[in-house]
Every structure is written in structure tokens, then in C-alpha cells.
Structure 1
């Protein structure tokens, strides 16, 4: 069930020893007018500096740390991410992931289904 004033997301983080793991997190949303003539909407900030659109026909990878702490907003395609702890999660359009395992062995990514994979990468500050 979707909670109207909470946005849930998954975070990948570095663990001692250089591995990675998933963590469930959330941020609060505030209901407010967004534009004249529209109903109030639940809004929240995802701190970021610059959005990057990514489209790839192949997205399979070997284990790697994230190039930067960043939000990944899934737009098209489905991926399976595996942490060094062996845990796997599947992310599809509409899912939100905070990738923060910028050191150590990182995680691996496997594309599921038909390409292309499309996502927005949004750099995230340390406090996000």
C-alpha cells in the first residue's frame, strides 16, 4: 500500500570490508499546490546537483562501485542488482534507488527483459 505522505526508496551502501548491502529508507512528502488550476500534490525533495539521462541496450556489469553517490530513477526496462552480500533486488520503471556504495567492491547489475534500459541519474549530496 502506498503511504500518501511517505516516499520509500532503496539505498545501496558500502559496508565494512568493502562490500555492499541494500537498505530501505524513506523521505517525507508534503501536500501542497504545485501549479494554479491543479489539485494539491504530495511533493518532496531529492537533493541533487544535475540530472543525467541514460539509455543503454546493454546494462550487464561486473561488480563495481558507483561512480558517484546518486539517485537512480528507473524509466524503462528492468534491472536486477546484486550486492556483495549476495542479496538481489529487482528495479523497474517508477522505482527509486539511492546508490551510495562509491568505495569497495560495489554491486553488479543485470538487465532483465528487452532493452533499452533508461534511467535518470541524479547526483546526491552526502546528507541525502
Structure 2
């Protein structure tokens, strides 16, 4: 279920990136982003809305999703799944097609911050 390794260290933060693949499907890859890396973004916003839980959807834009509270199971449209919780950065880059679903595993809330990436900006993700 979980492709994320324990290879994050003191210079990197664990990350998972949602990506588009063939036939409008979505997959994910595990990796890291470097700490103290400047993110080229103009704004961020917080959200606790859980109305999209269980609803297949693509990301509305490329963005970092920083989980503050909650443990979730994400399932991508190719059938694979992973666990997301505080300490793992999600990079939502599945901006078209079937997208992904998520469900809360622990509690009833998902507190998160979205940091939209500017068009063409590097997400600084390195696959492991």
C-alpha cells in the first residue's frame, strides 16, 4: 500500500507527488523535497472542509498540501493507495483526468494548508 520509504533525512522532508499518467489516470510517486527551499508562490490558504471525501477529483492546480492535523488514505485512479499524515508533504500535480480520492482514517477533521505553485515553477521534488 505505502510506497513511501524512510529515506528522508535532516536535509529533506518526505513527500508524495500525485501525477497524471496515460488514459486520464492518476498515480503517485514517493520522494523528498529539500528543507529551507524557497517556494515560488504568491499566497497560501488553510482549509478544514471535508466535503470532497470519497469523491474522485483532480487537483484544481499544482500545489503543495501541508497536513497539520489528520491521517488520510489517498487512492489514485490506477488503484494504488498511500497514507498521508503530518510530516509528509503532498504535491498535488494530477490536474486533469480521473484524479484521486481520499478518506479520513483518524478522527473527523483534515486541517491543511495549500500553497499553490506558480505556472512553470519547480516543485523541488526528488523521487526515491
Bin the TM-score by the shorter chain. Answer: 0.7 to 0.9
Kindly tell me the number of residue pairs found equivalent between the two proteins: 115
TM-score when normalising by structure 2? 0.80
Q: Which runs of 5+ in 2 are unaligned?
A: 1-5, 124-128
- Choose which of 35, 38, 45 in structure 2 pairs with 1:52: 45
1:25-66 per-position Cα deviation (integer Å, ceiling 9, x unaligned): 32334xxxxxxxxxxxxx222332211100135551321111
Structure 1 segments of 4 or more deviating over 6 A? none
Query: Do structure 1's residue 20 and structure 2's residue 22 form an aligned pair?
Result: no
Q: Which runs of 5+ in 1 are unaligned?
A: 30-42
CA RMSD of aligned residues (A): 1.8
Structure 1 distance, partners of 2:23, 2:42, is: 30
Aligned residues of 2:13 and 2:88 also touching (Cα < 8 A): no
Aligned residues of 1:58 and 1:111 also touching (Cα < 8 A): no
Query: Do structure 1's residue 90 and structure 2's residue 83 form an aligned pair?
Result: yes
Greater Rg by CA: 1
